[in-house]
Amino acid sequence: MEIYLNKLDNITQNKYEEFKENVEKLLENYQKEDSERYNLVKEKIEQTKGEWDTTIDLVSENSRQSINISQLLAYEYCLASEKITEGKVSFKDMLEKLFDGVKKFRIGNPVPGKDDECLYGKSFNDKTAMPVTSKLYRMVMPAGAQHLDYFKDGKFTEAVFIFEKETIKEFAKDEKGNQVDLEIEGIDFSDLSKGQSLLTNLRQTAFHEWNHTAEKERIIETDDTIAYEYQSADGKKYRNYEKIDKYVTIGKIQEPEYIVKSTQVDSKGKIIKNSNGEVDAFFKDSNGNIKSRDKFVFTLTSNNLDTEYCFSSGLTTREVLSNGEPKMHNQITEGFVERTARAMIKAIDPQVIDIDEGKYTEYVEMADRVIESRDVNLGENGRGQTYADFLMQSSKLKRDLETRTVVLDDGSKVDGLHYISDYADRVKNGQTRKSQFFKKMPVIARKLNLSEAQIETVKESNLWQKRELTDDEQNDLKSLLVGVTPSNKAYVDNVVAEFVDILGEETEFFNGIAEKLGYTDKTIEEQKITKADVVRVARKDEVVMEKENAIQGRKINDRDIHLKQGNTQIFE
């Protein structure tokens, strides 16, 4: 990726200079202190033969400075894996798994002609799949990064893209024939003046996507790993992995002219996405007829595999419906992927303060409760074991969760995996109380007659993102919502009270996860330790007092005795 510094503001230019200095300093230290493993990473990147983007180049009128970012990210990813697993996953094992999986790594947007083979679809043999280099992909996939599985020449491979936020000029036309632009998501490499540092952003994004590779597991059916199908305690049938004997490929990419509704274009000519993050679009067929966008498909070729592959998608399952068709179920895997990525960043940079914690909030919280309590449950050597299982053999963790039966409040039962993942699905589908509450926010804002400035102030307070609100924070939120209209106070009191109640209900669910799954709750263990420390300190004080009383009970010639509380040492 090339960054042209003369096109950027001074703040962003300075941020890039800081970024360059930080990366170079880290690389210098890693190479000096751990040259053998540092060079192993370098060799792996070279072996991809250019399929891994290696640098971010800072270009000015008189110079080009290359920042070897991929070397840093790959090295730190393997180092962090070793640290968070307490050495249960070695640096070299993680290095092998990373490069066995990710054959293509791009920082920036997919390259037409080079990345056309990377298809985004529902399955490997999905005839409606689309190339990541196509306009169609950009309209239906608003993500800032993407992990993709695909087959190339009959061999399974994976690609990871970290997209660049930009505006694609003259992307399509409106109903009147006017050219319109499309703004696509990704890292805003042209403006580093606010938000996360670029280094933290790249770490968090890359580690998250690479964790999808780590959780991916090829299942050998003859091994004692995990069942293809199983009947859960809730009476439903689930599949743990998919069997693949076919895949699709594309030849030449040919796209039609896309038409977007004029009502979906803003005053600057940019396409406005709908509530699903997609663009309401159509296309013009070869006869000039306008048809719904979802009717367009690329010409794909179906290919047979020499052998059947079985892939486990981490903690994701597929519910088998009554007609035998599988339905994707369980979104909790994103929580484990993101929770692990954050732990990795903190393992290599304990002082980091700008990790984005606004992503997958509920999913991460649930994953955190499982990871912490399961490690405690595994005993003295359990620290880091759940991370290790997730990264190297996710089916082991999945099977553990599946075999745990949870009794719900109404007496019905469900397995442990779907106890947490059903809640994750409710979050995804906007069915939780909190989701419903947030849907009412525009109504609340209108009821309170809040100005745009007031709404922005409330957002910036971050109070809506809190896991719980102290009394002071509740009062702060009330003040922000009431503003200069005292008559709103009663209504605001009710709104905040409802929100606090929702947070309490949510916390009760999270706090109960460990017990429901039959794990040892870390919080309870910490309370036991704290209690033991209190008893030990109290006993130590008793010993001191006994000695002090004994000293005071006899006469000691010409000596001053000084006793420190909690310390039996006697100083003359």
Q: Looking at the 3D structure of the chain, how many domains does it have?
A: 3
Q: What is the pTM of this model?
A: 0.86
For 460, phi then psi, to 5°, come to: -65, -25
541 and 472 within one domain:
no
Give the number of residues written for the chain: 572
Domain co-membership, 504 together with 542: no
Domain boundary among 511, 537, 559: 511
Give residue 550's domain range.
523-571
Q: Same structural domain for residues 441 and 563?
A: no
Q: Say yes or no to pLDDT of 559 above 70.
A: no
Residues 507, 529, single domain; the answer is: no
- Residues 163, 118 share a domain: yes
Give the pLDDT confidence score for residue 277 in this predicted structure: 67
Residue 132 falls inside a structural domain:
yes
DSSP strand pairing (56-59 vs 64-67): antiparallel
414 located within any domain = no
In a domain, 339, yes or no: no
Q: Is residue 115 part of a domain?
A: yes
Q: Are residues 305 and 442 in the same domain?
A: no
Residue 438 belongs to a domain: yes
313, 336 in Cβ contact below 8 A? Answer: no
**Mean pLDDT (whole number) for 328-333:** 76
If asked whether residues 46 and 190 sit together in one domain, one would say yes
Using alpha carbons only, give the angle 70, 74, 78 rounded to the nearest 5 degrees: 170
Does 535 share its domain with 438?
no
Span 411-465, pLDDT tens digits = 999 999 999 999 998 998 889 999 999 999 999 988 888 888 888 888 888 888 8
- Residue 61 placed within a domain: yes
Residue 99 has pLDDT above 60, yes or no: yes
Q: What are phi and psi of 406, to 5 degrees?
A: -110, 130
Closest CA to 167 of 155, 176, 179: 179
Residue whose C-alpha is closest to residue 517's, from 389, 396, 367? 367
Same domain for 536 and 488, yes or no, is no
What are the tokens at 317? Answer: 């399952």
Same domain? For 290 and 437 the reply is no
Position 224 in a domain: no
Instruction: Work out whether the CA dihedral 270, 273, 274, 278 comes out positive or negative.
Output: positive
Mean pLDDT of 218-232: 86
- In the numeric block, which tokens belong to residue 527? 């309370």
Tell me: do 177 and 293 sit in the same domain.
yes
With cut-offs at 50, 70 and 90, classify the pLDDT of residue 359.
confident
Residue 214 lies in a domain: no
Res 330: pLDDT: 64
**Predicted pLDDT of residue 557:** 33
Kindly report, residue by residue over 16-75, the tens digit of the pLDDT.
Answer: 999 999 999 999 999 999 999 999 999 999 999 999 999 999 999 889 999 999 999 999
Q: Which of 278, 312, 346 is the last residue of a domain?
A: 312
User: Among 484, 511, 538, where does a domain finish?
Assistant: 511
Looking at the fold, whether 444 and 564 belong to one and the same domain comes out as: no
In this structure, how many other beta carbons lie within 10 angstroms of the beta carbon of residue 418?
24
Q: CA 544, 545, 546: angle at the middle one, nearest 5?
A: 90
Instruction: Find, among 166, 160, 93, the residue nearest to 132 by Cα.
Output: 160
